[in-house]
Chains A and B, each alone.
Chain A
Amino acid sequence: MEIIKYNPKNHSEIVKKATKILKSGGIFVFPTETCYGLGADATNKKAIEKLYKYKRRREGKPLSVAVSDSKMAQKYVEINEIAQNLYDNYLPGPITVVSKSLGKVVKEVESEYGTLGIRIPDHKLVLDIIKEFGKPFTATSANPSYLPKPYSIKNLLKTAPQKNQDLIDLIIDAGELEQRETSTVVDTTMNNLNIMRQGQIDFSKQISHKKAVLKAQTTSAQEMLNFGSMNMLKYIDEPLDKPLVFFLMGELGVGKTQFSKGLAKKLQIKELVKSPSFTILNEYDYKLGERKGKFVHIDTWRLENIKDLESIGIDNYLKTNNIISIEWADKFFNDLKEKIKESGGKIINISFKYLDEDSREIETYE
């Protein structure tokens, strides 16, 4: 591993070095306008494997890639109107724009349903490396998963295990970076501004007329499932010292079970998630990195009141790390809400609307 201290004089030398390492399938640490990032050629399977060896794979968490401009982005993702708007107004800057991938990068960089996050870092050195290299490289934070985001190389070398450090080919040390928040992650694939991670840039003011946190119009069962996964991804980093409870509200046949399948998929549950209408409650074990718990799928369709729900033992499931999806939560909404609140749990409300035979509108409210 080589560490180079950055100064304006060695700018072009560093650009050349980094490009060489990218071309040879290596990984390198670089400064951005947020924290230090870790770069690997997004089109080189070996390089991505190496990067995951360093990061440790966080199942279900896609990487984002850095490009130099929207023209370059167009070669790798489908940019719709919403995304274009973001490119025009906010980039370069601390935003990751998630779009539908065109499949030009290694599969492991994309999400499991074929989306890709694009960053254009507001940092001249990084932009110059991208231009010189001519292809996107990863722009994930330079820490191994579950460790703090690094704002200085000193800190990174202190916290990352030696075994991981040995994998790094080059570190560009630009000193102590300003402790700016990470990028805001915006998913545009549902033709909406869906904030997956709140970072520096706060869109909530711009979109305050819509109360929904996430929103989608789906036209197939698969899209409904994907939206379920997207909801799980958004809340996957919630500190789960309390249960996380999804209230699914909408009439028969609007896709509540499909949505739940999507939640489960994001939790890496391999078992088939079927309708719990008959058994009332199905439970599955999930394991995501170091986090273990139960995914509990409940259907109150046959139930009369909150007492019925208590009799199937809901209180036993309102525990740390558990994620609960309740279909027909509107049936005895107030009692249910009170119960979850008492347990300290966080409620995410999902409203389903029927538009036509194939289309549904779904909104997520906190």
Chain B
Amino acid sequence: MSKPKNKKEIIILAVDTSCDDTSVAVLKNRIVLSSVVSSQVELHQKWGGVVPDIARRAHKENIEKVYLEALKRAKIAEKEIDFFAVTYGPGLAIALEVGVDFIKNLAILNKKPLIPINHMEGHLLSSLLLNKNNQGKIKINQEDKLFPALGLLISGNHSEIVYVKKIGDYKILGETLDDAAGEAFDKVARMLNLGYPGGPIVSSLADKAKSDWNNPQKAWKEKGGKKPISELAGTFGLPIPMMRSGDFNFSFSGLKTACLYKTQELRQKYKKDTDWSYNFAREFINAISRSLSHKLIKAIEKYLEVKSVFVGGGVSNNKYITREIGNIVRKLKKNYFVPDKKFRSDNAAMIGIAAYYNILNKKNQLKADKILELDRKPMLRL
């Protein structure tokens, strides 16, 4: 990788419309000059999910505004932009389209190259972002010392462990076979009659859990010792998925089903008294967290040469999960990186940083006619 210091400073404008947020960011090399996320969460709360018609309409209505706001905050004029970058997958097809079309027009109009970015590469690299004072998790020119690394990407649509030989060289070691971790949060939130998005709400319930939530011994006895204690997440006996699968894959659909029947049972037992939901939420988070960390440990044990672990994606907002994973990674004497709070959920700055490294590595730069050919890829993989 060439060192950026002697190079001219690069101004990148990045857009992400992969799901429910319209985001635009301006970067100067690794520095975030501005990052505007027009969160549509308020619009979606009513439905308990992302409603695509609204997502597209809102993206279309938002994107110009968000773009101008990002330029204004960055104090950059359109003509100063050197590169345009955009998420072209994975994500919701009709949402991706809005961002891709918007950026194609801009790149052609300004006669500048366009870098198509995989959304998951953005999540993976978001710990490399720096603020305006040049501060961040990883100092300038420190990148080379951190690889090979593992990425743990956990979001509404993904749960995967990625081997990162170096920036730009990725291999998926394992991934979810059915539901993603974030999806499990949303579905459990609905079972508990909570709103959307599920993550923060389930987490705030868990804050009220009593210390007796974590007694798998009790659940083990009640279940007649059918499953090993090590595979029960707490007093209610929720399963920790895939403990014996022998690979690096995840599966959260069985846990979801177990939660459904447990909540029905508890609701019948306690009627209007819903205090059980605090312990339940805590145990559910533990089941996810233990499953993620179990697979991560296995991956670190297999790939001992790994120097760091990068966590990314919306589920890394969950403090219980990042705390447990952080403790484990540090115990195994690896560097541990979780992005700054602002860059954990979907945002465009992470697309900018991924574009920056693509530019340094002279990869994926589309020019002229090639720009017109760019199409969204909803099922794109790393």
Contact = CB atoms under 8 A, between A and B. Distances in A.
Interface of A: 221, 251-254, 257-258, 271-272, 274-275, 277-284, 301-304, 307-308, 311-313, 357
A302 B260 contact: no
B375 to A, nearest CB: 13
B312 interface: no
Nearest to A281: B93
A285 to B, nearest CB: 10
A279 B90 contact: yes
Nearest to B175: A272
Contacts of B256: 252-253
Nearest to A252: B260
Interface of A is mostly: loop
Nearest to B191: A252
Interface string B154-185: 00110000000000000000011111101100
B178 A303 contact: no
A279 B53 contact: no
Interface stretch (B2-10, B43-51, B295-303, B349-357): B43-51
Interface string B238-261: 000000000000000110110011
B260 A282 contact: no
Interface in B86-120: 90-94
B56 interface: yes
Tier of interface size on chain B: 35 or more
A278 B178 contact: no
A258 B257 CA distance: 13
A278 B52 CA distance: 10
Given A271-B379, A279-B157, A283-B379, A303 B180 contact: no
B253 A278 contact: no
B187 A252 contact: yes
Given A257-B253, A278-B156, A302-B50, A312 B94 contact: yes
Interface of B: 19, 47-53, 56, 90-94, 156-157, 175-180, 182-183, 186-187, 191, 253-254, 256-257, 260-261, 378-379
B280 to A, nearest CB: 16
15 contacts: A251-B260, A253-B260, A258-B178, A258-B253, A272-B177, A274-B176, A277-B187, A278-B50, A278-B180, A279-B90, A280-B50, A280-B52, A302-B51, A304-B47, A312-B52
A253 B180 contact: no
A312 B379 CA distance: 15
Contacts of B94: 311-313
B91 A277 contact: no
Q: Which 6 A-B pairs have the closest CB atoms?
A: A302-B49, A253-B257, A311-B53, A278-B157, A275-B179, A278-B156
B253 A279 contact: no
Contacts of B90: 279
A336 to B, nearest CB: 16
Contacts of A313: 93-94
User: Among A251, A282, A302, A303, which residue has the most Cβ atoms of chain B within 10 A?
Assistant: A302
A253 B379 contact: no
Contact of A278 (B56, B183, B257, B260): B183
Contact of A275 (B19, B183, B379): B183
